[in-house]
Chains A and B, each alone.
Chain A
Amino acid sequence: MAYGVKIKNQNGEIQIDGTYRNMSLKENGNSISVSNNNDPNTYFTIINITATPLIPMILFQPNTDYFATISSYVKTGSNFSSFNAITQYNQTTTINWKLYTETPDLSTEKYGLRIRNPSNNLVFDSGKEYTKILDIQTVAPVPTSGYVDISHPSIENPFYLLSPIGIWFRYTASTKLHYYYKVGLKKLSSTSVRVGWFNFLLQVFDWGSSNESEGFSPTAKLVIFGAD
């Protein structure tokens, strides 16, 4: 007979299942500057985290001024050590971010609830802050200037995760301009966000007489998480 714990919410959805580990808050940053100098080697901002072998999930809140996106996670050896954030070329913005991992260690709480799985790994600790999915939207803005505005009137100031991040390249022979685009987020209000393509790198050099335009433009998921 199977044993263990399974806790469901009032809609019958499982909150804790005693096997798979819930994701809890490990680290966060507020009003972190993200700048782009339009240099092909350093256009992105490296945000360092406390190195961890646990797989991170990083959520963020964009600002209202420019698009931003979390483009990649960086590993040093077997540890995740930083992530890269990008905004529009020659611009600076700020983001708030939260990093979640499987719960690696006990909270400092003296009272509450702790659940471990059969492997003795901590599944849940009531002293931790857990990710709460409030909504999931699918978005497919059209390259290279398209955007989709997402409204979530009942959700104030959430954190977001966008995946996968589209990327596009365009070359205009007449001007010798090389445009590089990604998909990111820009805050519209506390209850809405814009998902759209933005130009993160603009270079000028002769690359032939043919115009080119190609990239990866998947239908993406915008996952909206509770802020606390």
Chain B
Amino acid sequence: MPHGLRIKKSNGTVMLDVSDRITRLRYSNEVAANASGNTTLDDIANSLSVEFSVLVSGEGGIKAPHNCSRNGTVFSWTASSGEFYVSWNSLIFLFLYT
């Protein structure tokens, strides 16, 4: 017998099924331009995650968001800049989905 949570609307439409992977926000932060860093999240060791970033109030000019990555339990964000583009404030996320 399958397990998990299945939720239906009153008309029978399945809103959440027993095979669905729904996202849980584990970590978020607003990080400053030019600042790279990392944090250790011990509890994510056995979970799959997706990490991403987006500019905050970043239109105008050539502005780059941070690049996010995960290695084991370490979540890292790296600023990037060059001669013709600048690093900018970013919102960074780590979502768990298993």
Contacts and interface: CB of A to CB of B under 8 A. Distances in A.
B25 A214 contact: no
B50 A223 contact: yes
Contacts of B25: 20-23, 55, 102
Given A72-B54, A131-B23, A216-B85, A15 B63 contact: no
B76 to A, nearest CB: 13
B52 A169 contact: no
B4 A132 contact: no
Contacts of A71: 55, 58-59
A14 B16 contact: no
Q: Chain A interface mostly helix, strand, loop or mixed?
A: strand
Contact of A167 (B64, B67, B98): B64
A74 B80 CA distance: 20
Interface in B39-95: 47-48, 50-60, 62-68, 80, 82-85, 90-91, 93, 95
Contact of A8 (B3, B62, B90, B97): B3
A214 B84 CA distance: 6
Contact of B85 (A7, A75, A130, A214): A214
A136 B82 CA distance: 29
Given A71-B55, A72-B56, A74-B57, A215 B85 contact: yes
Interface string A17-52: 100111100000000000000001100100000000
A16 B82 CA distance: 42
A69 to B, nearest CB: 10
Contacts of B95: 23, 57, 133
Contact of B18 (A10, A44, A72, A212): A10
A126 B62 CA distance: 42
Contacts of B24: 14, 16-17, 20-23
Contacts of A73: 54-57, 91
B52 A161 contact: yes
Given A10-B4, A57-B93, A164-B68, A132 B22 contact: yes
Contacts of B63: 167
Contacts of A161: 52
A13 interface: yes
B48 to A, nearest CB: 8
B23 A22 contact: yes
21 contacts: A8-B4, A9-B5, A10-B18, A10-B19, A13-B21, A14-B96, A15-B21, A21-B24, A41-B60, A57-B93, A57-B95, A71-B55, A72-B54, A72-B58, A75-B57, A129-B15, A133-B21, A133-B22, A134-B21, A214-B82, A215-B62
